[in-house]
Amino acid sequence: MKTKKFNNIIDLEMSLFKDLDMKEEEEGLNEDLRIATQELLCDNYEYNSDICLVVKILDNKAICLLNEYYNRKYLTFDNTLNVKVGDILLVSQEKYPTDNNDRKIVKIENSVVKKRYLDNKVDLCNSNGIKSEFSITIISNLKDGDVITKDLIENTIKKLIKKAEEEKEKQAEKDKEDEEMKKEELCAEKEKFEKESILLDDGGEVTITKNEMKVRGRKYVFEKSINKIFNYEETKYFSGWTGEIDIYDKVKEKKENYRVEEREDVLQKEEWVKIYGMEFEDDKVKINEVPITKSRIHTVINNVRKETTKEELELLSKLSIMKMDVLQTKNISCNGIVLDINFSLFDKDTFKVKFMKKTKKLSWDIIKKHLFYGRGINTNFSGESLINFLKKLGIKKQDFYSHLKKAVLIKSLEDESKNN
């Protein structure tokens, strides 16, 4: 049915060239009834639907009042459906219509539009999980001018409940078959792990082969076959989300030494390179042969790199939380541009700061003064505070501006490339 929609009474009157003598405040359908009717008949993902009230018939044109989110709007159409003033209509349209003025219009029997009745049917549909499907079924099976009656609602609900129960039974049978199949797969998987120490788990995110376990791009190499360390059920602890701290926390219970490796391209060939080794000796824990106190082990694991020296490890195991925060600081920025400032340790009271191909040793007092705001690190510098910090690195203001200009240009090109 071809329709026209108007946002207010003035627009409607102008289209008809007629003073309709209708007030904006004119009573439409009771708001509670409209909402209850809309909840039962219009709540679905395939159609945009409204409940409206016929308020005037003029020159064989029906004028309906819509209450959209408390905004009064009007809808008109040629009255070939012989609607009367006071009729309640369901007006619906597909979510993405080919013609924005084409809507399906069906009548709603007055006996349906009762609050208690509507609420009861909404509860019934919700309890059986058919509410959206009920609305879609009602709208899709009707044509212009049809009437939504109590009998239609009752019969549709009964059919959908029966259909839902049948589907539930079929799904239960399928779930049972899937469960049996899964049990068989798990039994075969468990047998293979216990015999050969081979396991592919979590959608391929975790693989165990003999004494090696690969998780999230890292390889953990043990001195024994992994099936001699963990039983099959314990391997379920490891998943695609497992990190180095999680691995350590689980392995420390077993006190089994291991080393951590990461992939690296060496002469255009992918190789696994050692990052660190973890040793458990009595009540002590060592990383690359350096004893680490248990209270600092997580911090050290998060910061150790393949190039970390023995001396740096010893420092890492003794650093304060504030100093550790400096080492972990990334993405320092100014005016939205990220600056590649890198911090590393020289000794427990001195940091090496690298920026713009310059490396400078700065004392902890200087670092603390320029980097910290209260007890937290300020990663978003103002222009003035950044220039003052760069002076400590021996970087001239104009040299930095030239560097910044280049960084801004690169960022704009990257943004442009993403948008294209």
The model's pLDDT over 291-318, given as tens digits with 9 standing for 90+, comes to 998 888 888 898 888 888 888 888 888 7
First-to-final CA distance of the chain: 41
The model's pLDDT over 322-339, given as tens digits with 9 standing for 90+, comes to 887 787 777 788 777 788
Burial code (b: 16+ CB inside 10 Å, e: under 16) for 304-319 equals: beeebeeebbebbbeb
**CA 361, CA 344: separation in Å to the nearest integer?**
9
Supply the angle between the helices 31-41 and 115-127 in degrees, to the nearest 10.
Answer: 30
The model's pLDDT over 222-271, given as tens digits with 9 standing for 90+, comes to 999 999 999 999 998 888 788 899 999 999 989 999 999 998 876 667 78
Is residue 87 classed as helix, strand or coil in its secondary structure?
Answer: coil
Low-confidence ranges of the chain (pLDDT < 50): 25
Average pLDDT in the chain: 87
The residues with which 262 forms a beta bridge, in sequence order, are 218, 273
The model's pLDDT over 270-291, given as tens digits with 9 standing for 90+, comes to 789 999 999 998 888 999 999 9
Sign of CA dihedral 230, 246, 341, 414: positive
**Which residues, in sequence order, are CB contacts of 154 under 8 Å at separation 6+?**
none
**Which residues, in sequence order, are CB contacts of 319 under 8 Å at separation 6+?**
299, 327, 345, 348
Asked if 82 and 68 touch (Cβ cutoff 8 Å), the reply is no
Predicted TM-score of the model (pTM)? 0.53
**Which residues, in sequence order, are CB contacts of 234 under 8 Å at separation 6+?**
250
